[in-house]
Every structure is written in structure tokens, then in C-alpha cells.
Amino acid sequence: DAGVIQSPRHEVTEMGQEVTLRCKPISGHDYLFWYRQTMMRGLELLIYFNNNVPIDDSGMPEDRFSAKMPNASFSTLKIQPSEPRDSAVYFCASSPLPLGKAEQYFGPGTRLTVT
Amino acid sequence: DAKTTQPNSMESNEEEPVHLPCNHSTISGTDYIHWYRQLPSQGPEYVIHGLTSNVNNRMASLAIAEDRKSSTLILHRATLRDAAVYYCILSGNTGTASKLTFGTGTRLQVTL
């Protein structure tokens, strides 16, 4: 398996623009997670899905952020409109089972820069 | 969520064992102890996890105190490729068990 795939790897955009990050989880994994990492706040969980259904979105910072999982092999994280403080590395991870029973596999991340 | 406390940084010489400590005095009976590491410019990588008994895998060993209020990740022979930030994380075995809450971790430096 190719592992968790994220695209793009780097994204530079101007403030106010819409940004869409994409993730393909490992086949057969029922859990998908979106994290954000910054120097100031470290690694934060934004939202996670189980069987394509959002389970916990309490980490989503505000309404400008939205995430979808239309099918088992694809998820998006959208920021509209983007702001400079959204600059961070965004990671997607997947797991076959609930935590404690299996590890999470992380993708390589998308480095987002909003100018 | 139960919290963990780790030293900010540690140093080790190559080829020597490394013991990375983690304190989790508020751990509950159903919390698993997970360790992940993050190499520079990469996503976090699973290392090991356990509940009560010590665990071994090809990457490391996890020693869990009898009262479970602390644990130690053991790298038996550190290499330069082990230089990373190591995160000790607790997870509940409940409906929200699928969440990982990362702390600040321990930055391990390995020198020749």
C-alpha cells in the first residue's frame, strides 16, 4: 500500500482565497483524521471521521474550516476564506480500528502558506 | 483528557540505549499509553503502545510502571535516524477513544 496520500504537498495562497486540501486514506481503514501543526500550538486534532461520518469536529477552529468525506477513499479539508494565521502543516491520518487497538498512519502533510 | 509530562529534550550517543520518560499521574484505568515520533519534515510515526504490561516490538520497548503513573520508551541502540520528537500520549478506551492529543514531546538528539 502507498500509505496515506495527501495533496498538494505545498500550497501558497493569498488571504481571502479558498484552499482545498485532499487526502486519500489507506484502503480498508475506517477512521480518518485531520490534524494541524504549528510552532505555537503543536499538533492539534481538527476533526475525525468513522465510516465517512464526522464523529468529532470540536477541534475545527471556526466556520471558515469545513471537512468532508464523500467516500471511503477520499476526504477534503477546505478553508474559505483563508487567513495568514491558517498557515501551518496539515496532516491527514487513517486507522483501521479505534485508538488503543491500532495505530494511526499519518500522511506526509500539506504545508500551507497564506500571505 | 489525562495529561502527560515529558522532558523537552534529551541527548544520546549513537549505539547507546535511550530511555525516554513520561509521567501520567492522572491516567485512568482504561487509558492506553501510546508513543509516536516525528522526524524532521515528516508526519508522526507510530512507535508502540500498551495498557498495563511491558511491550516490545522491532522499534522499541515500552516499560510501564506498576501503578501506571509513568512509562518509559526504550530505544535499545540509538542511531542518527532516531533523532526526532517523541510524543507520549494517553487515549481512553471509550467512545472518544479514537482521538490522539499530542503534547509538546521530547526532542531527542543523537550524536556520534
The pLDDT of residue B63: 98
CB contact under 8 A, A98 and B34: no
Q: Is A43 on the interface with B (CB under 8 A)?
A: yes
DSSP readout, chain A? ----EEE-SEEEE-TT--EEEEEEPPTT--EEEEEEEETTTEEEEEEEEETTEEEE-TT--STTEEEEEEETTEEEEEESS--GGG-EEEEEEEESS-BTTB--EE---EEEEE-
Residue ranges of E strands in B1-112: 9-13, 18-23, 32-38, 45-50, 55-56, 61-64, 70-75, 84-91, 106-111
Mean pLDDT across chain B = 90
pLDDT-derived band at B49 (thresholds 50, 70, 90) equals: very high
Residue of A nearest to B32 (CA): A100
pLDDT tens for B56-80 read 999 999 999 999 999 999 999 999 9
The secondary structure of A3-15, three-state, reads: CCEEECCEEEECC
The pLDDT of residue A99: 65
> How many alpha carbons lie under 13 Å from residue A94 in its C-beta half-sphere?
24
pLDDT-derived band at B94 (thresholds 50, 70, 90) equals: low
pLDDT tens for A4-20 read 999 999 999 999 999 99
Q: Is the pLDDT of residue A98 over 80?
A: no
pLDDT-derived band at B85 (thresholds 50, 70, 90) equals: very high
Residues of chain B with Cβ-Cβ distance to A98 below 8 Å are 97-98
Q: What average pLDDT does range A34-54 have in this prediction?
A: 93
The pLDDT of residue B102: 82
pLDDT tens for B3-37 read 899 999 999 999 999 999 999 998 888 888 999 99
Collapsing DSSP to helix, strand or coil, B81 comes out as: helix
Nearest CA to A45 among A90, A101, A9?
A: A90
The pLDDT of residue A7: 97
The pLDDT of residue A1: 67
Q: What average pLDDT does range A84-108 have in this prediction?
A: 89
pLDDT-derived band at A97 (thresholds 50, 70, 90) equals: confident
On the 0-12 / 13-18 / 19+ scale of CB atoms within 10 A, B27 is buried
B28 min Cα distance to partner chain A (Å): 14
Q: What average pLDDT does range B42-50 have in this prediction?
A: 94
User: Is residue B12 within 8 Å of B108, Cβ to Cβ?
Assistant: yes
What's the rounded Cα separation, in Å, for the pair B34 and B85?
Answer: 14
CB contact under 8 A, A95 and B98: yes
Share of chain A above pLDDT 90, in %: 80
The pLDDT of residue B90: 87
Q: Is B101 on the interface with A (CB under 8 A)?
A: yes
Q: Is B34 on the interface with A (CB under 8 A)?
A: yes
Q: Is the pLDDT of residue A112 over 90?
A: yes
